[in-house]
Chain A
Amino acid sequence: MVTDINNLNNMHLDVLKEIGNIGAGNAATALAKLLNRKIDMDVPRAKILEFKDVNEILGGAELPVVGILLKVSGDLTGNIMFILKQQAAALLVNMLMGRPLDIVQEEFSEIELSALKEIGNILAGSYLSSLSALTNLKIISSVPDLAIDMAGAILSVPAIEFGKVGDTVLYIETEFSEGCARVVGDFFLVPDYDTYDILLRALGVNC
């Protein structure tokens, strides 16, 4: 029996948030090591949204963002996304490449795009491996792909998968910030509709 996401109770949501906490905590540590800087994260949010509200999660459907998406397969299927505002992505690249932070380029070069994808890869990898260790589920991620475009267009990618089975979508979201709060990114785990109960059951929660 698949749990209807509209019927998830507060305990289910708390468990899903905790998953975000553990996954994103590991991802934040990985990012901090990579940049050799302090990375903060806020309390994860588990959001059940109607489609009409999906576009606005990041504060505007037309906001230009860098989205790094990985498909998740194995026992758990879905999508994992790291979304950064364009300027934050530029700062992140500068930090990674040891360049002055006050020079913000408009366009990314091939090598910078590749660096951003790799950051997405490392963060998603640490997020998912901690989740895998916690649940004993086999979780595999695809190679990362990157798109620079409107937030609405990028956020709709995992939402469409939900459209086939329901009218709502669940995002487990965690926000990251660098010490001086200049680099802010949002991490989204969007498990497929049919995999919530696998996830919840693996953690010993009855649906």
Chain B
Amino acid sequence: MYKFIKVGMADLQSSQHPCIITTLGLGSCVGIALYDPTRKVAGLAHVMLPSSQQARNNTNIAKFADTAIVKLIDDMVALGAVRTKLIAKLAGGAQMFSFNDTSDILKIGARNVAASKEVLKTLRIPIIAEDTGGNHGRTIEIHSEDGKLLIKTIGHGIKEI
């Protein structure tokens, strides 16, 4: 029986096999899915902002790409994952409203993706697949069986990465 775990906005969860971890309606936020194929430990973070350094209030570490990824790895290692075996998949980081002006807030999606990649690179976790950018929302699910990431959209189909 699969354990079905839901991750909210600015939240992160991890679990051993068998589980499906999901987060609904990602817009500019980024979903970072980590997986250890050898121990079948899966984790998912739903981050809203690129960096805890620029924020006035950074008590919720699941909110930021830099702190959330580190915490997620720690949680997964505690569940038996091997740090060097972890792989990453990214989804989200869309720009929901186009607007003509190019202020910060509107490009937040792209900044979230860039920051997530940077953090993963520093931690030497390979990103093996991604579905980021665009202008549509995504619901994602990571499956502990094989680490596949299922991405559902409205009007842009369903895909697996």
Residues of chain A within 8 A of B55, CB atoms compared: 163-165
Q: Max chain B CB contacts within 10 Å: which of A69, A145, A149, A153?
A: A153
Residues of chain A within 8 A of B108, CB atoms compared: 160
Q: Is the CB of B29 within 8 A of A160?
A: yes
Stretch among B34-42, B113-121, B131-139 lining the A interface: B131-139
Residues of chain B within 8 A of A166, CB atoms compared: 57
| In-complex Cβ contact of B25 among A71, A151, A160 (8 A) | A151
Residues of chain A within 8 A of B25, CB atoms compared: 55, 61-62, 150-153, 155-156
| In-complex Cβ contact of B97 among A53, A61, A147, A152 (8 A) | A147
With A55-B9, A163-B55, A167-B63 as given contacts, are A152 and B99 in contact (CB-CB < 8 Å)? no
Q: Max chain A CB contacts within 10 Å: which of B9, B57, B96, B138?
A: B9
Q: Is the CB of A150 within 8 A of B29?
A: no
| In-complex Cβ contact of B96 among A51, A55, A61, A149 (8 A) | A149
0/1 interface trace, chain B 116-148, chain A, CB 8 Å (1 if under): 000000000000000000011111000000000
Count of chain A residues with Cβ under 8 Å from any Cβ of B? 34
The yes or no answer to B1 lying at the interface (CB within 8 A) is: no
The yes or no answer to A159 lying at the interface (CB within 8 A) is: yes
Q: Mind listing 9 A-B residue pairs with CB under 8 Å?
A: A51-B60, A52-B10, A62-B24, A67-B96, A145-B98, A153-B26, A153-B137, A159-B48, A164-B54
| Interface positions of B (Cβ within 8 A of A) | 8-11, 24-29, 48-49, 54-57, 59-60, 63, 94, 96-101, 105, 108, 135-139, 152, 154-155
